[in-house]
Amino acid sequence: MKDFKNYYLLNAPPEEVYLALTTEATIMLWSGDKAVMSDVPDTEFSLWDENIVGRNIEFEKGKKMVQEWYFGEQNEPSIVTIKLHPHKKGTSVELVHTNIPDEAFEDICEGWNEFYFGALIDFYEEEI
């Protein structure tokens, strides 16, 4: 099991980024794919037409979200924590993803950088 931590800078205020991470319609806009999401704890979610699935654990509006991502028969939960910090250029995002299965680690890191936050960075750059 491996952990991944990274920071991203988005050209939008934290409240807007929070909505982009928790609102189905907005997720579909920046991801280009089907999503099931709400910011209600203990609900299931799916992103990229069910390529990513899991359970929502905790939300703090405009500041934080915590999810469990499912990876088959894994013993320890894989936890994703996203914290949003105000920044002079918009939002500094702190991502921590723990207990990633070794065989999925490279794909997960690439997914975060290119498809998840890469897509969000592109989405907000277009709005300038």
pLDDT tens string 9-36: 999 999 999 999 999 999 999 999 999 9
pLDDT tens string 56-80: 999 999 999 999 999 877 778 999 9
Record the pTM.
Answer: 0.93
**In this predicted structure, what is the pLDDT of residue 76?**
83
Whether the per-residue pLDDT at 101 is higher than 60: the answer is: yes
How far is it, in rounded angstroms, from Cα 30 to Cα 122?
8
How far is it, in rounded angstroms, from Cα 78 to Cα 100?
6
Task: Round the average pLDDT of the chain to a whole number and report it.
Answer: 94
Q: Is 49 left (phi over 0), alpha (psi -120 to 50) or beta?
A: left
Domain span holding position 98: 2-125
Q: How many domains does the chain have?
A: 1
Q: Residue 29 is part of a domain; what is its CATH number?
A: 3.30.530.20
Task: Extract the tokens encoding 40.
Answer: 């209600």
**In this predicted structure, what is the pLDDT of residue 108?**
95
Over residues 102-127, the mean pLDDT reads 91
